[in-house]
C-alpha cells in the first residue's frame, strides 16, 4: 500500500484496529514517516480550507447581488487631485477639515456639532431646530383651514440645502451635512419628499454628490444653472437656500478669493447665512453658479465661506464613470438666467434648489 | 427559520452552524455600516462590498474556532475588522491620504483576528494558485475525493475511468503533483 493511501485511510477511517496501532507506533518511531504524514495532513487541510473559502465567497457574492445588486454604484473620487495640490490641499485632506470647522460654524440646521465648539454652540444648534419646527407649526396652524395637512414625517437630524447638477436627479450638497447619514431626502416647491442616494463624496472639499431616483417633477423643466470658475472680488452674488421650510433669498458680495485661514479652496462672502444654508449655491449677477455655501465664521457676523465651483467640477471630473462625467460636465451649459430680472431668475432656479433632510442612525 | 431580527448570539450560533438564512440576515444588517465607512474614506461601493465580504469571512473564521467568544457588540466587531481591512488596502495602494477616523465610531482591537486571517489567506492563495496550475481533471478529482468525500467508484464513473483502480492511480498522481507544487514552490 502506498503511504498516501495509508494516510488517507488513517484520516478517513478504513484501517483495522491492528493496522491503526501499527500506524501510530510507526508515527512515534519513524520521524521521516511522521513528517510525511504531517505534510499530507497540512495539504488536505489547505485543500479543504481553499474549497470552503471559495464556496463562502460565492455565497456572499450571491447574497450581495440579490440584496444590494440594484443599488446605485458609488464611484470614488480619485485622490490624484489631493496629491497634485500640494501644501494647501494635503493639509486639507483631513486635518484641515477639522481645524477649519473648529472655528467656522457649519451651517446646517440642527446639530452638526463639533467637540471644539462647546456647549454654547450646541445649545444654539438645538434651539435652531426647535425654532424651525415651532415656526413651521405656527404656519401650518394658520394654513390648516385652507388646505389638507401635509403628510407627517419625523424631523430630520440635519437640514440644509442642495442644488441640481442637471435635471436627471443629480445634485450637490455639503459633505459635512450628510456625513454618516443613514438616509437623505430632498423636497422643494415642486417636488414631494424624494429619497436620494450618495454617488460620490469628497470630504476634503466638503462636497457630496447625490441622486434622486424619481425625477418626474423636474425632468421637463429647463435646467437653469451654468457654472463659472472665475469671479472678481466685489462682484455681487446671491443665494437661495432653506434655512427654514420655505426657500429664502440672500444677497451680498464676494469679499475674498480665499476662505478662513487663507484656504484657497474657498471664497469669503458677505451674504448673511444661517444654519440650513449649507450646501446652497452662490451665483453671480448673471446667474452663473460660482460656489457652494460651506459655513460662516463663528466670531464674525455676515462672514460666510463658500467652496469654489471649480471644486465641484473637480469632483465631477474625478468620477470614474465616463458617461456620468459627461452628463454632469460643467462646460456647454448655457445660462438660462442671463439678463433676467432677479425675481425671474429665482423663479427658474427654485425647482432645482432642494431642502436636504438628513437622517442619522 | 428566517426571522426579522437576531441577537448577536443568535447570529454567531447561526453562523457557526452554517445557516444560510442567518448568514443572509447578518449580511443585510451590517452592509450599510461598512459601505458608509469605506465610501467616506475614498472607496467605491464595489470596494466596500469586497471589504465587507472579507469582513464576514473573518467573522466566520472566528466563530468556527472552538471557544470563540464575542467580547463586544457584533456591530463593533464587524466595524473594527472592516476598518482594519480597509486601512490595509489603502496602504497597499500607496495612498498618502490620512485615514479618517470618526470620533463616534466604536473600535476594538482586532489585530490578532486580522493576523490569523492574513496568514490563512496567504495559505489559501497559495493553494488557489497550485490548484489552478494543476488544472483539470486533477482539480475536481482531488476535491471530490478529499473535500466532498466521493468514493473511488463514484469518481471513476464521473470521470469515465474504466475502474476504481485507474481512478485511484490518477488521484495518486494528482496528489503527488499538488504536494510538489504546494510545498516546494
| Closest CB to B31 among A68, A95, A203 | A68
Q: Which of B100, B104, B128 to mutate to test the interface with A (most CBs of A within 10 A)?
A: B100
> Each residue of A131-174: pLDDT tens digit?
344 344 444 433 333 333 344 566 777 888 999 998 889 999 99
Residues in chain A: 361
Q: What is the mean pLDDT of residues A343-352?
A: 90
Is A75 within a domain?
no
Hey, of A55, A59, A177, which one would you mutate to test binding to chain B, going by the most B CBs within 10 A of its CB? A59
Of A68, A90, A111, which residue constitutes the final position of a domain?
A68
Does residue A74 belong to any structural domain of this protein?
Answer: no
In the numeric block, the cell 485661514 is attached to: A261
Residues A325 and A244 in one domain: yes
A148 and A12 housed in the same domain:
no
With contacts defined as CB-CB under 8 Å, which chain B residues touch A69? Answer: none
Complex ipTM value: 0.88
Confidence at residue B101, expressed as pLDDT on a 0 to 100 scale = 57
Q: Which domain holds residue A101?
A: 80-360
Q: Tell me, yes or no, whether A51 lies in a domain.
A: yes
The full 3-state SS of chain A, as one line of letters, equals CCHHHHHHHHHHCCCCHHHHHHHHHHHHHCHHHHHHHHHHHHHHHHHHHHHHHHHHHHHHHHHHHHHHCCCCCCCCCCCHHHHHCHHHHHHHHHHHHHHHHHHEEECCECCCCCHHHHHHHHHHHHHHHHHHHHHHHHHHHHHCCCCCCCCCCCCCCEEEEEEECCCCCEEEEEHHHHCCEEEEEEECCCCCCEEEEEEEEECCCCEEEEEECCCCCCCCCCCCCEECCCCCCCCEEEEEECCCCCCEEEEEEEEECCCHHHCCCEEEECCCCCCCCCCCEEEECCCEEEEEEEEEECCCCCCEEEEEHHHHHHHHHCCCCHHHHHHHCCCCCCCCCCCCCHHHHHHHHHHHEEEEEEEEC
Spatial separation of the C-alpha atoms in residues B40 and A263, rounded to whole Å:
22
Nearest to A43 among B47, B96, B182 (CB): B182
pLDDT average per 10 residues of sequence, chain B (185 residues): 75 86 91 89 87 94 86 90 89 66 68 87 89 88 87 82 85 91 79
Q: Does B183 sit within 8 Å of A67, measured CB to CB?
A: no
Task: Judge whether A16 is closer than 8 Å to chain B, CB to CB.
Answer: no
Helices B74-92 and B8-16: angle between axes, nearest 10 degrees: 70
Q: Which residue out of A43, A55, A78, A211 would a mutagenesis test of the B interface target, given it has the greatest number of B Cβ atoms within 10 Å?
A: A43
Q: How many folded domains does chain A comprise?
A: 2
- pLDDT above 70 (res A105): no
Q: Which residue has the cell 488557489?
A: B128
A146 plus A9 within the same structural domain = no
Question: How far does the CA of residue A240 sit from the closest CA of chain B (Å)?
Answer: 28
pTM: 0.47
Tens digits of per-residue pLDDT, B127-175? 988 998 888 888 888 988 888 888 888 888 888 888 888 888 888 999 9
Angstrom distance (rounded) from CA B156 to CA B137: 12
Nearest residue in B to A40, CA atom: B179
- Shared domain for A254 and A130, answered yes or no, is yes
- The minimum CA-CA distance between B124 and chain A, rounded to whole Å, is 5
Contact yes or no for B40 and A115 at CB 8 A = no
Tell me: do A9 and A86 sit in the same domain.
no
Classify each residue of A289-322 as buried b or exposed e, where b means 16 or more C-beta atoms within 10 Å of its C-beta: bbbbbbbbbbeeeebbbbbbbbbbbbbbebbeee
End-to-end CA distance of chain B: 46
Amino acid at each position: 500500500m502506498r503511504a498516501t493511501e495509508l494516510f488517507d485511510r488513517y484520516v478517513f477511517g478504513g484501517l483495522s484496529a491492528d493496522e491503526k496501532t501499527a500506524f501510530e507506533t510507526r508515527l512515534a518511531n519513524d520521524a521521516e514517516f511522521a513528517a510525511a504524514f504531517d505534510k499530507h495532513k497540512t495539504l488536505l487541510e489547505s485543500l479543504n480550507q481553499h474549497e470552503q473559502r471559495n464556496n463562502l465567497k460565492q455565497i456572499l457574492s450571491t447574497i450581495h447581488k440579490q440584496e444590494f445588486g440594484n443599488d446605485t454604484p458609488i464611484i470614488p473620487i480619485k485622490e490624484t487631485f489631493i496629491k497634485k495640490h500640494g501644501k494647501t490641499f494635503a493639509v486639507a485632506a483631513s486635518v484641515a477639515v477639522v481645524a477649519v470647522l473648529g472655528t467656522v460654524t457649519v451651517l446646517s440646521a440642527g446639530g452638526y456639532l463639533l467637540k471644539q465648539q462647546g456647549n454654547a454652540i450646541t445649545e444654539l444648534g438645538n434651539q435652531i431646530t426647535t425654532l424651525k419646527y415651532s415656526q413651521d407649526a405656527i404656519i401650518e396652524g394658520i394654513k390648516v383651514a385652507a388646505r389638507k395637512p401635509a403628510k407627517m414625517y419625523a424631523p430630520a437630524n440635519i437640514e440644509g440645502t442642495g442644488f441640481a447638477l442637471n435635471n436627471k436627479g443629480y445634485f450637490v450638497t455639503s459633505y459635512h451635512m450628510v456625513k454618516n447619514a443613514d438616509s437623505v431626502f430632498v423636497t422643494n416647491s415642486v417636488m414631494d419628499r424624494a429619497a436620494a442616494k450618495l454617488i460620490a463624496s469628497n470630504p476634503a472639499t466638503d462636497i457630496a454628490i447625490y441622486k434622486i431616483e424619481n425625477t418626474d417633477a423636474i425632468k421637463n423643466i429647463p435646467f437653469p444653472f451654468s457654472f463659472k470658475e472665475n469671479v472678481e472680488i466685489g462682484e455681487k452674488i446671491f443665494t437661495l437656500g432653506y434655512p427654514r421650510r420655505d426657500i429664502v433669498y440672500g444677497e451680498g458680495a464676494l469679499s475674498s478669493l480665499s476662505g478662513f485661514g487663507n484656504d484657497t479652496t474657498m471664497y469669503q462672502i458677505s451674504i448673511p447665512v444661517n444654519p440650513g444654508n449649507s450646501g446652497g449655491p452662490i451665483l453671480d449677477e448673471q446667474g452663473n453658479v460660482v460656489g457652494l455655501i460651506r459655513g460662516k465664521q463663528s466670531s464674525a457676523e455676515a462672514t460666510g465661506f463658500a467652496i469654489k465651483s471649480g471644486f465641484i467640477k473637480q469632483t465631477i471630473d474625478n468620477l470614474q464613470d465616463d458617461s456620468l462625467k459627461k452628463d454632469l460636465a460643467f462646460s456647454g451649459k448655457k445660462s438660462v438666467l442671463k439678463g433676467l430680472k432677479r425675481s425671474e431668475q429665482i423663479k427658474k432656479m427654485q425647482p432645482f434648489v432642494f431642502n436636504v433632510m438628513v437622517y442619522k442612525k | 427559520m428566517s426571522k426579522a431580527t437576531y441577537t448577536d448570539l443568535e447570529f454567531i450560533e447561526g453562523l457557526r452552524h452554517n445557516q444560510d438564512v442567518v448568514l443572509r440576515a447578518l449580511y443585510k444588517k451590517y452592509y450599510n455600516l461598512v459601505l458608509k465607512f469605506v465610501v467616506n474614506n475614498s472607496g467605491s461601493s464595489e470596494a466596500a462590498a469586497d471589504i465587507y465580504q472579507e469582513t464576514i469571512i473573518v467573522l466566520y473564521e472566528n466563530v468556527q474556532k472552538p471557544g470563540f467568544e464575542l467580547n463586544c457588540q457584533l456591530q463593533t466587531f464587524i466595524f473594527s475588522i472592516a476598518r482594519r481591512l480597509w486601512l490595509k488596502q489603502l496602504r497597499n495602494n500607496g495612498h498618502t491620504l490620512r485615514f479618517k477616523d470618526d470620533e463616534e465610531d466604536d473600535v476594538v482591537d482586532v489585530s490578532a483576528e486580522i493576523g490569523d486571517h492574513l496568514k490563512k489567506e496567504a495559505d489559501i492563495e497559495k493553494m488557489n494558485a497550485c490548484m489552478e496550475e494543476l488544472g483539470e481533471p486533477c482539480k475536481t478529482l482531488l476535491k471530490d475525493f478529499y473535500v466532498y468525500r466521493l468514493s473511488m467508484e463514484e469518481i471513476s464513473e464521473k470521470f469515465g475511468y474504466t475502474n476504481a483502480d485507474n481512478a485511484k492511480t490518477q488521484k495518486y498522481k494528482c496528489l503527488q503533483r499538488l504536494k510538489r507544487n504546494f510545498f516546494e514552490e
